[in-house]
Amino acid sequence: MVLALNAALYIGGEWIQHSNTRMEIINPATEEVIGHAAVAGVAECDQAIACARDAFDKGPWPKMSMVERVAVLQKMHDYLMGKRAQIVDLVVREAGATRMIAEYLHFGIAMKHAAHLMAEALRIQSPMTPIELTPDAQGHTVLGTSVTLYEPVGVVSAITAYNFPFFLNVTKLFHALTMGNTLVLKPSPYTPMQASLLGEAADAAGLPRGVLNIVNGDIETGTLLTTDKRIDMVTFTGSDKVGAAIMAQAAPTLKKVHMELGGKSALIVRADADLMKAAQSGLGGFTIQAGQGCALTTRHLVHNSIRQQYVETLAAMARHIKVGDPADPAVNMGPLIREAARQRTEQFVEIGRDAGAQLVFGGRRPDGLTRGFYHEPTLFNDVRNDMRIAQEEIFGPVGVVIGYDSDEEAIALANDSDFGLHGTIFSADAGKAFQIARQIRTGGMGINGGGGTMLSDAPFGGYKRSGLGREYGREGLLEFTQIKSISFHAG
């Protein structure tokens, strides 16, 4: 099935249908070609940057009031809400998400975040600093103060990942554009169609030309977006290795760099935890989106007094996971994005076995699924924290269980990681769980399942190799600004 969707380049408010190169878009569940997308070369990418630069330097967008900008973005939001069914279907076919996850997380949470960002932006004021009284040479007293302004950074390039493409594209757009920036968006070459919908929304809303530009491309295109001096800021979601390369590329022009990178997040299960709830969370921690999620809790730190029971409970739950084409509403876990991702998962399964970890379940390709990039949910027990399967981000449906004997040991194990994006604790003692959470070096922690959703006002981001900066809420919006102080005195 070829989807009737525009997957052209969107530059300066115009659709460029034909470029020198086009790429096939593959459904990872069936390996079927579902469409084609134009690919930007250096010339098209250069044109997109020039349009964004001109729109920022000469256009109305950064000079408009927040109320005026939000009014336009609300029209984009309304347009996307009206396309919900089409978008969800596309997420299932292009990203391999199950329909439930596509509805709730890929689309629902993304649009919730976008609405919250607009509402929060309208609440941002220009604060006055405290008054200072300073004697002058004439014997008078100067009454001085200043106002703090949050101004747009300028031209932002956004490079997004394939695991939650619509979600990432939408939230980066609303962060950047709400605060008055212009944007060049480069989606993953695996999932370019979902980005094209934002161009359609921009046309429908009357977004000024050049404020949003969308270029599909390869490494060469991405490098231009991280090195060109006309770009003022790079926002990137992806692996820590690519993030490090982007930092190096951005360094000569001293761009602002904003990154949400990988994770190996810990799920801490204390001896007094509700085992059923902890195991349910643990299973989701490596099966949601087939384990392709940076904040997923793939490292389970379980008190040794209950570890065997936890593993047995988790194994019993895993037997009910149905792997298959996510277009089927009965399916709980879909495919990995491509064959290379499945091969990486298989390699780590062998690494875990060779290191002496106990394979509890999974570990291979499912029976009967001859097409599509599927791998069974896989769990290892008796894992040491220094094993590669405990330290490296696999980005596949593999979880590891590590035993511990005291809270202090659990904290040390959780912090013994190059990453620090997220984590969660299950315990009947919420106060003790809070004390432990404060000692974990991560950007976020949840207690007994967290807030019940991905909270839109809670800043999201990581420590260490998990990233730089924050997204969502006031803190996320201010990442996309420069702060200016204008001082003055009375008299």
The residues assigned a catalytic role are: 260, 294
Estimate to the nearest angstrom the gap between the alpha carbon of 310 and the chain centroid: 30
Question: What distance in Å separates the CA atoms of residue 284 and residue 292, rounded to the nearest whole number?
Answer: 11
- Give the contacts of 483 (CB within 8 A, at least 6 positions apart): 148, 149, 150, 151
Strand order in the sheet with 378-381: 358-361, 378-381, 398-404, 299-303, 266-269, 423-426, 446-447
Q: State which H helix or E strand residue 379 sits in.
A: strand 378-381
Buried-state track 18-50, b at ≥16 Cβ within 10 A, e below 16: ebeeebebbbbbbeeebbebbbbbeebbbbbbb
Report H helices in 215-271: 219-227, 240-250
- For the stretch 223-259, what's the b/e string if a residue is b when 16 or more beta carbons lie within 10 angstroms of its beta carbon? bbbbbbebbbbbbbbbbbebbebbbebbeeeebbbbb
Output the six-digit token pair for 418.
């190059």
DSSP structure string for 437-487: HHHS-SS--EETTTTSS--TTS-B--EETTEES-BSHHHHHHTTEEEEEEE
Beta carbons of 325 and 102 less than 8 angstroms apart: no
Q: Dihedral of CA 383/388/393/395: which sign?
A: negative
**Cα–Cα distance between 392 and 203 in angstroms, integer?**
42
* List of residues 6+ apart from 121 with CB closer than 8 A: 66, 69, 70, 178, 179, 477
Instruction: Give which of 152, 225, 153, 142 is closest to 186, Cα–Cα.
Output: 225
Residue with tokens 């977004």: 207
Q: Residues 221, 31: contact at Cβ < 8 Å? A: no
d(CA 370, CA 367): 8
Give the C-alpha separation, 157 to 176, whole Å: 10
Cα torsion angle, 222, 224, 230, 232, sign: positive
How wide is the angle at C-alpha 474 spanned by C-alphas 468 and 479, nearest 5°? 35
